[in-house]
């Protein structure tokens, strides 16, 4: 099921504050100025495919602004591609101003000041992902922010068509297929940036395809405590050396990536009803940690607190999980309100190759 938030049931005075919090949690911290005396209801529905968060937004007239102060207080930069479906948006960034109409899209970089104004009821679908996921030079990307792309021809049409269809199918894609779909989407966006900048770069499709195939295998066998580099390499008909090279290209390790995936799923299951039935040790075993002490140490290293404290603090948070920028909707096996750890990619060091202890 998709994660969602709506202000329809709130009183008009409560909608403004609730909507501001929802927008900032779903995307990045922003100032929100509603342009109606009685704010219209707003709705945000979210899915996650791999590193891409898909957010469909419907609301009334408003202005959102990302200020220098908000940027300074925020985490790593991300990019937002927004497909306009209803209403016309005026966007400003990097000294440019663009008008984005239904059927068109634009790109926003959250590491720099931007402003977006819509003077009517609107709907759009946004795709949010870490800046590091897009392999393009900074100067090429900067040249395309606050630029209107028409989805009628050329590389922009490929991007608009694929992203739009991916959003419609997100709810029915399983985790492995969703990750591959997101990878293809980001490759198409890279193609668009290269096309607009006049670049024609040689890439390594074999490495990328091999890595995605390996990740699919790992995700399908994540519960197996015997999962390790040798069995992974054998199942994918590659050498252990080549396997390590693939993950090195993403600045991580095989064991680190496996451990991060297992911890992510444990963190979410700890907040679900199943935690009462299985207990912390049972949740750990469920996701391939054979040793509960090793699991507790790994969890504390990744999340900054023991698993028990994680359950208590998360249950006290009482914030809408659907709109948290760190919450993973169902396509990546999320729990209700369980945020993923910050910077888990490549953070794990040493230890057992499988992360199971």
* pLDDT value of position 311: 86
What distances in angstroms separate CA 148 from CA 54, 139, 255, 299, one per listed residue?
20, 18, 42, 44
pTM beyond 0.85: the answer is no
CB 353 within 8 A of CB 228: yes
> Residue 68 class from Cβ within 10 Å (0-12 exposed, 13-18 middle, 19+ buried)?
exposed
User: What ranges in 27-124 are assigned the alpha helix state H?
Assistant: 68-72
CB 102 within 8 A of CB 84: yes
Nearest residue to 127 (alpha-carbon basis) of 172, 74, 181: 181
Rg (CA), the chain: 21
* pLDDT value of position 286: 93
What distances in angstroms separate CA 295 from CA 56, 96, 176, 190, one per listed residue?
36, 49, 24, 38
Q: Indicate the angle between helix axes 292-303 and 307-317, nearest 10 degrees.
A: 50
Chain centroid to CA 33:
25
Chain centroid to CA 226:
29
DSSP-based helix, strand, coil % in the chain, nearest 5: 45, 20, 35
Residue-level pLDDT, tens digit, the chain, 357 residues = 567 899 999 988 899 999 999 999 999 999 999 999 999 999 999 999 999 999 999 999 999 999 999 999 888 899 999 999 999 999 999 999 999 999 999 999 999 999 999 999 999 999 999 998 888 889 999 999 999 999 898 999 999 999 999 999 999 999 889 988 998 999 999 999 999 988 655 555 557 778 888 999 999 999 999 999 999 988 887 888 889 988 988 889 999 999 999 999 999 899 888 888 999 999 999 999 999 899 999 999 999 999 999 988 766 654 344 333 333 333 444 343 344 444 443 343 344 444 444
The C-alpha torsion from 188 through 79 and 53 to 91, rounded to 10°, is -100
Chain centroid to CA 344:
13
Nearest residue to 284 (alpha-carbon basis) of 306, 304, 317, 315: 306
- Distance from C-alpha of 269 to C-alpha of 283, rounded to nearest angstrom: 7
* pLDDT value of position 135: 80
* pLDDT value of position 346: 39
Q: Indicate the angle between helix axes 292-303 and 274-286, nearest 10 degrees.
A: 100
């Amino acid at each position: 099921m998709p994660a969602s938030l709506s202000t329809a049931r709130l009183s008009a005075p409560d909608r403004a504050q609730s909507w501001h919090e929802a927008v900032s949690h779903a995307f990045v911290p922003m100032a929100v100025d509603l342009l109606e005396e009685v704010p219209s209801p707003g709705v945000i529905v979210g899915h996650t495919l791999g590193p891409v968060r898909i957010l469909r937004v419907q609301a009334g007239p408003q202005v959102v602004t990302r200020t220098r102060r908000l940027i300074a207080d925020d985490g790593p930069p991300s990019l937002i591609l927004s497909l306009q479906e209803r209403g016309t948006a005026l966007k400003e960034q990097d000294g440019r101003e663009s008008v984005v109409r239904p059927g068109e899209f634009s790109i926003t970089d959250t590491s720099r000041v931007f402003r977006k104004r819509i003077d009517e009821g609107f709907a759009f679908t946004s795709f949010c992902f870490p800046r590091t996921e897009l392999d393009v030079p900074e100067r090429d990307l900067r040249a395309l922010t606050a630029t209107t792309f028409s989805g009628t021809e050329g590389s922009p049409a490929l991007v608009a068509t694929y992203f739009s269809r991916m959003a419609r199918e997100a709810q029915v894609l399983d985790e492995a297929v969703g990750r591959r779909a997101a990878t293809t989407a980001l490759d198409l966006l890279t193609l668009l940036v290269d096309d607009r900048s006049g670049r024609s770069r040689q890439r390594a499709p074999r490495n990328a395809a091999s890595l995605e195939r390996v990740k699919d295998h790992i995700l399908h066998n994540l519960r197996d405590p015997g999962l390790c580099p040798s069995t992974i390499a054998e199942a994918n008909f590659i050498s252990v050396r080549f396997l390590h090279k693939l993950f090195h290209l993403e600045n991580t390790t095989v064991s680190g990536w496996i451990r991060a995936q297992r911890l992510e799923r444990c963190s979410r299951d700890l907040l679900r009803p199943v935690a009462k039935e299985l207990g912390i040790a049972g949740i750990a075993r469920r996701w391939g940690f054979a040793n509960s002490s090793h699991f507790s140490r790994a969890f504390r290293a990744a999340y900054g607190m023991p698993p028990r404290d994680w359950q208590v603090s998360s249950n006290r948070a009482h914030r809408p999980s659907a709109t948290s920028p760190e919450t993973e909707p169902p396509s990546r096996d999320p729990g209700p309100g369980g945020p993923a750890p910050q910077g888990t990619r490549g953070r794990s060091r040493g230890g057992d190759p499988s992360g199971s202890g």
